[in-house]
Structures are given as C-alpha cells and as structure tokens.
C-alpha cells in the first residue's frame, strides 16, 4: 500500500543526492545499543519463516523491515534493493525506457508529478496531479510504487494503456507507446528583444554542461547582446546537488551558493561559486518557480535571490530543504538516507517553507492543471520541521513548530501549477510576465551584454 510520501521515480529519483567520496563515515556499522533490537528482529523473522501460514523468504522480510524503518524517518529516506538502485542510477544518467513521466505515491495512489518534455507522456498531454488508477487491466490500488513503475516500463515500441483520473472528470484511458527516454535536462531559446530563455526540467548528470553551453549559445545568437535571462525551474523536482551548485555558479562571482549541515563532519560543507564564474555579468535574471519546484531547483533560486543576482517570480516552491546521501551496500542495493539540511547564502533553511518569490505571479486559471492545489513538503507525513535560521556560529536556531503535519506559517498546498504543455510556449503567461519585467529593466538600464 502506498505511503503518504513523495517518492519521485523516473528522473529525479532522489532529489538532492550527494554522490561524492564522503561515505567512509557512513559505512554500515553496528552500534552496541542496537544489538538487543537486532536479536529481536532476527527472532521475529525466524518465527515468520517457520510458522507463518504461507512460506515467506527471509530476504523479502528483511527488505520490508528496512523499508519500513527508513520510510518512517521522513518522506525521502528509503532502502533500495539491487534493481531499484540500478534503476535510480539509470534515471539520473538521463536515459531509460518508458513513458517519460515522474510519478509519486503521494495521497495513496500513483500520481503524475510532471511529464518530461518531448516524451510520450508529454505528447499525450498528461498533467501533473493526474492519478494513474489502472495500468492495462490491473488496478493500481494496493500496489507499491515500484510495482507500478515496472508495469509502466517495457520494451521500446510496445504499447501500454493507463487509466487516468483527473480532478472531477470521469476516468479515461490513454494508450502510449514506450520509447527510449533520452532526457535533455536543459533547453534554451532566444526570445524576442534579446531575452534569453533556459528551461531546466531536472538536475541530472548533463545539466552542468548543458546550462553552460546554453548560456554560451544565447550570447552568440544575440546580435545586439542579451538584455535579460529567464531560468525556468517550474515543475523541476530537483536532482543532483552538484549540478545545482554548478548552475548557480555560472551566474555568480565567488561566494557561497549553498551550505549543508548534518551530524557527520563530512556533512558540514560550504559550496562556493568560482571566483570569476558569472558568464553574464550585468545581465538581469529572472528565476521562475512554482509549487512543483523542489530541492536542487530551490537551491538555485535561493542562491540567486540571496545574492541579489536574480529576481524570483512565480509561486511558493515545494519546500524540500534536505539532502539525501546514497550509501551502497555491496550486492544488496543501497540506503538513501537524509543526512543533512541545506541553507541558502543568507543562512535560511527552506525546509518546510520553500522559496517565497520576490514577485508573485500565478498562472491564470485557464492555464492551471486540473485537480487543484499541490501538496507541499510540510504536508507530507514525517516531514522534517524547519530548523530555523543559521546563527553567526553556523548553528541552526530554534526549530519552527509544526501543527497538523505542516509548518505554521506556510500553506500546506500551493496554487495549481501551469499545464506542462504550455511551459515555454508563446501563450505561457508567467513566462511572458518574466520577459516583460526584463524588458522594462533593460529599457531602464539601457544596456545589454554582447558575446565576448
């Protein structure tokens, strides 16, 4: 049965993953205080093996016990068996077979978080918030998220029919053809009047180079120089922390991008921009976000906002301010464990709160997805409370209190995001507002930056 937790599969399987050589301190190690409990768990597994009415393997029981233990900690900690671990690595590499959508188990049913641009799911006009209630003739009720994902994936060229429940509409079937999903996480376009547009759909292995190449191309394509840049992070669920640091670092000259604080010495780190990293000095920047912008997206938005390098526009972001570390277990998969919280350059944590835009710009109702508002991090079961502002000593202040599973000063849900198939299109009202804002800035500044 689904837990009330956001578990994104297909692209950003673990938003905020750190995959850097810092795992020695996090190797599996038994503590003396755990020994009595381990004896108890082993005894119960042995009892079930011997006496349960149907045969049950010890491996399955152990996996379920590990998942239950880690899932209880927070919405993002988890145990992955070998197959799940390999699938996660494939997802983050940006190429896999399937339909091209990110799904979660939030709310007890498999729910589409976002279709990926240019994939079967996007072409079929599937929308964030759509519930997948059947795959083929099989109901998804009571299935694990992994079982649903395995049913959706298959041989490229084969077809699969899914039944969608969208808001108050009657359920309807959609037949899609599976294909190899090659996710280009960065797309760019030179908009009229010298405004550059960069869309980042996730933060994967190709994002750092993709963003840098996009800025280089926009500079060379703009004959009269770039007058502004829009970075579109709407419906971007996050991804690799290192990619987020690289993206922000391409628009900053030195200084802090993000810092992380955890219990292990290796988890006390400050990530900085290169001393002369800004590729577009003097070019005004707008960062577009919404309630489905999470984790790595929020790192970029928070860094540019705090450093006064960009204006954040849109609606309140998701509020995932935790960092997950993947600890491989030789031959037995991996543990994904929340090991730290991250802080923006000014020392604020966005955990539970999210990034508040400088300019609130909602999508008009006719451009919003069906199904209403999207739940935010603070509304998820087991969500970690906001730890408070970092003090001058580098330590968090008093944690904010929580009521009914949500932060007391932020809504549990955000306004509905824009329909995925409108993002970046001429009728995209939020993008048009960002372009208009940059146009006014350029007129006031009366300047542009040409390619060097």
Among 165, 182, 199, which residue terminates a domain?
182
**3-state class (DSSP) for residue 295:** coil
Residue 147 and residue 194 in one domain: no
Q: What is the CATH number of the domain that holds 130?
A: 2.30.42.10
Contact 122, 29 (CB under 8 A): no
169 in the same domain as 191: no
The tokens for 317 are 């972001």
- Of 3, 111, 320, 419, catalytic: 320
Which one is predicted more confidently, 239 or 8?
Answer: 239
- From the list 222, 295, 297, 415, the catalytic residue is 295
Average pLDDT of every residue of the chain: 84
- Establish if 323 belongs to a structural domain: yes
pTM of the full predicted structure? Answer: 0.77
pLDDT in tens, 51-96: 999 999 999 999 999 999 999 999 889 999 988 888 777 766 656 6
Decide if 379 contacts 406 (C-beta within 8 A): yes
pLDDT exceeding 90 applies to what percent of the chain? 54
pLDDT digits 0-9 by tens, 236-280: 988 889 999 999 999 999 999 999 998 877 778 999 999 999 999
Query: Could you say which of 306, 352, 353, 428 is catalytic?
Result: 306
Question: What domain range is 190 assigned to?
Answer: 186-445
Residues 120 and 211 in one domain: no
How many separate domains does the chain show?
A: 2
209, 227: one domain: yes
Residue 16 pLDDT greater than 80, yes or no: no
Judgement on whether residues 296 and 330 belong to the same structural domain of the protein: yes
259 and 373 together in one domain: yes
Alpha-carbon distance of 384 to 145, in angstroms, equals 22
Long-range contacts of 358-362 (CB under 8 A, 24+ apart): 358/305, 358/311, 358/312, 358/313, 359/311, 359/312, 359/313, 359/433, 359/437, 360/313, 360/314, 360/315, 361/313, 361/314, 361/315, 361/430, 361/433, 361/434, 362/315, 362/415, 362/430
* Residue 392 pLDDT: 62
In this structure, the answer to whether residues 127 and 202 fall within a common structural domain is no
Last residue of a domain, one of 136, 151, 182: 182
445 annotated active-site: no
Q: How many CB atoms lie within 10 A of CB 265?
A: 9
Final residue belonging to a domain, choices 155, 182, 209? 182
Residue 373 predicted with pLDDT over 50: yes
């Amino acid at each position: 049965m689904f837990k009330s937790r956001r578990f994104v599969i297909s692209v950003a399987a673990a938003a905020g993953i750190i995959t850097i050589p810092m795992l020695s301190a996090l190797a599996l190690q038994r503590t003396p205080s755990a020994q009595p409990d381990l004896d108890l768990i082993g005894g119960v597994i042995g009892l079930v093996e011997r006496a349960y009415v149907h045969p049950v393997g010890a491996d399955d029981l152990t996996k379920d016990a590990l998942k239950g233990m880690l899932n209880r900690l927070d919405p993002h900690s988890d145990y992955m068996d070998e197959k799940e671990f390999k699938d996660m690595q494939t997802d983050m590499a940006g190429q896999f077979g399937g339909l091209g959508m990110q799904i979660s188990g939030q709310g007890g049913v498999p729910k589409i978080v976002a279709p990926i641009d240019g994939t079967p799911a996007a072409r079929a006009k599937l929308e964030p918030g759509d519930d997948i209630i059947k795959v083929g003739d099989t109901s998804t009720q009571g299935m694990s998220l992994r079982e649903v994902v395995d049913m959706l994936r298959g041989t490229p060229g084969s077809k699969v029919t899914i039944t969608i429940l969208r808001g108050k509409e009657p359920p309807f079937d959609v037949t899609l053809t599976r294909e190899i999903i090659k996710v280009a996480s960065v797309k760019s376009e030179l908009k009229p009047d010298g405004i550059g547009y960069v869309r980042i759909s996730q933060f994967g292995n190709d994002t750092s180079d993709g963003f840098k190449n996009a800025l280089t191309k926009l500079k060379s394509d703009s004959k009269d120089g770039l007058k502004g840049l829009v970075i579109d992070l709407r419906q971007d669920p996050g991804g690799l922390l290192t990619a987020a640091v690289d993206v922000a670092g391409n628009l900053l000259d030195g200084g802090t991008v993000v810092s992380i604080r955890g219990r292990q010495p290796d988890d006390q780190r400050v990530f900085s921009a290169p001393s002369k990293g800004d590729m577009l000095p003097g070019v005004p920047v707008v960062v577009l976000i919404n309630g489905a912008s999470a984790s790595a997206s929020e790192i970029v938005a928070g860094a540019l906002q705090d450093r006064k390098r960009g204006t954040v526009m849109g609606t309140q972001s998701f509020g995932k301010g935790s960092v997950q570390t993947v600890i491989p277990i030789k031959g037995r998969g991996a543990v994904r464990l929340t090991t730290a919280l991250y802080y923006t350059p000014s020392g604020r944590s966005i955990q539970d709160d999210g990034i508040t835009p400088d300019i609130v710009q909602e999508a008009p109702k006719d451009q919003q997805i069906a199904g209403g508002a999207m739940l935010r991090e603070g509304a998820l079961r087991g969500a970690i409370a906001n730890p408070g502002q970092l003090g001058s000593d580098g330590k968090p202040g008093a944690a904010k209190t929580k009521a009914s599973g949500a932060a007391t000063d932020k809504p549990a849900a955000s306004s509905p995001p824009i329909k995925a198939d409108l993002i970046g299109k001429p009728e995209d009202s939020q993008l048009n507002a960002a372009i208009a804002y940059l146009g006014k800035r350029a007129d006031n500044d009366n300047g542009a930056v040409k390619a060097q």
